[in-house]
């Protein structure tokens, strides 16, 4: 039996002036990253899965050469930091820097996080809040209950940042976590647990579910070089694992109009970045915070003058 192709109507996203619509679509935002590589937008299936689940795994994104180079850098960062120049002793140093605005990341964040009026071909419509490296298992038994957090993102106040919003045809993730797995991850080595769909939960989590052994908790497996997106409004926890060799880069993103932490990269490292990558760390405000773009044209309810 043949089915008609489903057509997604253009969602009406209200802009700031007189209830007019946002005129710029995700695929029309920043088209290349700081290295000039075209961004890779998520597929319709990937958008559906992230909105439905609150997380999305894309396996085997990085090449073997990139994985090897990045793992070597992480090993030096962990054991021999003195062999790395001081400004680059962080997870934006060396080969890890290009993960911050990898084409897959930019394409995804254009869809789920960027604020269109503050984006152009010369700047991103989102910012990088913080970045860190995860080595092995950093969770102890006493930590498990204390890291149970988030959930119910549809009902959080905007200033919280851990929120999720959606209208037919479009989702928006206030804080978005991007994990780059540089080693193979299995159920046994993955200490991350989450409850799929809890970013949209209307009820508080029951006490019976707060036990890490509840069947509602899930995790993921993936080969090295994979990337995982999480909305930070998803209910999450950490458990013990035997991940002695695991290497993971964790990057946290926010909209340009909001800030959750006060972290910034070393000034020397920031100044050495390509100009477009530097816009991941520009000042936190919305009005006019666009480089070589036209903020007013994108927020007006009236047509441009001829």
pLDDT of residue 209: 87
Assigned domain for 177 exists: yes
Q: Which range marks the domain in which residue 218 is found? A: 43-277
The yes-or-no verdict on residue 13 having pLDDT over 60 is yes
Structure tokens at 15: 């802009």
In a domain, 226, yes or no: yes
* pLDDT value, residue 254: 97
Residue 291 lies in a domain: no
Residue 23: predicted pLDDT: 78
Interval 230-255: pLDDT, tens: 999 999 988 887 767 899 999 999 99
| pLDDT tens digit sequence for 261-284 | 999 999 999 999 999 999 999 999
What are 175-205's pLDDT values in tens digits? 999 999 999 999 989 999 999 999 999 999 8
The CATH number that applies at residue 240 is: 2.60.120.620
Mean pLDDT of 215-230: 96
Q: Is residue 33 part of a domain?
A: no
109 pLDDT above the threshold of 60: yes
Does 21 reside within a domain?
A: no
> Distance between CA atoms of 284 and 127, rounded to whole angstroms?
8
Q: What's the number of domains the chain is made of?
A: 1
Distances (CA, A) of 75 to 127, 182, 247, 251: 27, 11, 9, 18
Is 151 inside a domain boundary?
yes
The predicted-structure confidence for 16-43, as pLDDT tens digits, reads as follows 888 888 878 888 899 999 999 999 999 9
Backbone angles phi, psi at 189, to 5 degrees: -100, -10
Note whether residue 283 is domain-resident: no
Mean pLDDT, the chain, whole residue set: 90
DSSP-assigned letters across all residues of the chain: ---PPP-PPPP--B-SSTTPBP---GGGS--B-TTSPBP-PPPHHHHHHHHHHSEEEE---S-HHHHHHHHHHHHHHHH-GGGS-GGG-STTSGGGGGGTT-HHHHHHHHHHT--GGG-BTTB-SEEEEEEEEEES----GGGTGGG-B---GGGS-GGG---EEEETTEEEESEEEEEEE-S-B-TTT--EEE-TTGGG-SSPPPTTTSSTTSTT-B---B-TTEEEEEETTS-EEE-----TT-EEEEEEEEETT--S------HHHHHHS-HHHHGGGS-S--TT--SSS-TTTTT-SSPPP-
In this predicted structure, what is the pLDDT of residue 229? 98
User: Does the pLDDT at position 141 exceed 90?
Assistant: no
Q: Can you tell me the distance from the alpha carbon of 102 to that of 93, in angstroms, rounded to the nearest whole number?
A: 14
pLDDT average, residue stretch 224-228: 98
Position 4 confidence tier, pLDDT thresholds 50, 70, 90: low
Let me know if residue 11 belongs to a domain. no
């Amino acid at each position: 039996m043949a089915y008609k192709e489903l057509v997604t109507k253009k969602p009406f996203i209200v802009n700031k002036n007189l209830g007019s619509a946002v005129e710029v679509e995700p695929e029309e935002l920043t088209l290349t990253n700081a290295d000039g590589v075209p961004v890779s937008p998520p597929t319709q299936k990937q958008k559906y899965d992230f909105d439905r689940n609150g997380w999305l795994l894309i396996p085997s994104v990085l090449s073997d050469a990139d994985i090897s180079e990045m793992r070597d850098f992480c090993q030096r960062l962990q054991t021999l930091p003195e062999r790395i120049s001081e400004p680059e002793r962080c997870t934006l140093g060396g080969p890890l820097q290009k993960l911050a605005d990898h084409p897959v990341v930019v394409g995804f964040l254009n869809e789920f996080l960027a604020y269109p009026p503050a984006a152009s071909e010369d700047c991103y419509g989102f910012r990088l809040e913080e970045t860190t490296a995860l080595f092995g298992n950093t969770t102890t038994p006493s930590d498990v209950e204390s890291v149970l957090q988030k959930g119910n993102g549809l009902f959080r106040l905007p200033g919280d940042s851990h929120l999720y919003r959606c209208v037919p045809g479009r989702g928006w993730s206030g804080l978005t976590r991007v994990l780059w797995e540089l080693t193979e991850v299995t159920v046994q080595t993955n200490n991350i647990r989450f409850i799929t769909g809890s970013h949209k939960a209307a009820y508080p989590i029951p006490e019976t579910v707060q036990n890490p052994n509840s069947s509602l908790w899930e995790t993921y497996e993936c080969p090295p070089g994979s990337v995982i997106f999480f909305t930070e409004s998803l209910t999450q926890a950490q458990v013990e694992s035997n991940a002695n060799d695991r290497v993971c880069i964790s990057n946290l993103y926010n909209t340009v109009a909001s800030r959750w932490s006060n972290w910034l990269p070393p000034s020397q490292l920031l100044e050495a970045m390509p100009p477009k990558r530097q816009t991941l760390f520009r000042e936190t405000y919305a009005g006019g915070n666009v480089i070589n773009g036209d903020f007013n044209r994108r927020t007006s309810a009236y047509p441009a003058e001829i």
